[in-house]
């Protein structure tokens, strides 16, 4: 699957049903030897003026299912 196919999908947490955000402005970290994705950082903006920015860190191992419109994340597997 290409990154361009994942960008518009909404990430949903399996544990509490919370929307984690979209991957359109996410940052990635890769394993230096294998080139596999290890971590995805999804930017989170709070407030009307998009101030108080922070990032949600998701391990690639937290992804349970990639569907046509959503990505299901299991936050109970957080490091």
User: Tokens 């419109």 label which residue?
Assistant: 69
In the three-class reduction of DSSP (H, G, I as helix; E, B as strand; rest coil), residue 5 is classed as helix
pLDDT greater at residue 78 or residue 42: 42
Rounded mean pLDDT, 61-72: 92
Q: What is the Cα–Cα distance from 14 to 52, expressed in whole angstroms? A: 25
> Does the structure show a pLDDT above 90 at 49?
no
> Does the predicted model carry a pTM greater than 0.85?
no
Question: Which CATH number is associated with domain 3-77?
Answer: 2.30.30.240
In the three-class reduction of DSSP (H, G, I as helix; E, B as strand; rest coil), residue 68 is classed as coil
Provide the token pair at 79: 């490091």
- Sort 60 into a burial class: Cβ within 10 Å, 0-12 / 13-18 / 19+: middle
Phi/psi of residue 34, nearest 5 degrees? -95, -25
């Amino acid at each position: 699957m290409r990154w361009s196919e994942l960008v518009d999908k909404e990430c949903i947490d399996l544990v509490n049903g919370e929307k984690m955000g979209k991957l359109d402005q996410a940052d990635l970290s890769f394993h230096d030897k294998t080139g596999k994705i290890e971590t995805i950082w999804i930017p989170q903006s709070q407030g009307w003026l998009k101030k108080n920015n922070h990032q949600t860190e998701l391990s690639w191992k937290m992804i349970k299912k990639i569907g046509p419109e959503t990505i299901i994340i299991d936050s109970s597997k957080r490091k």
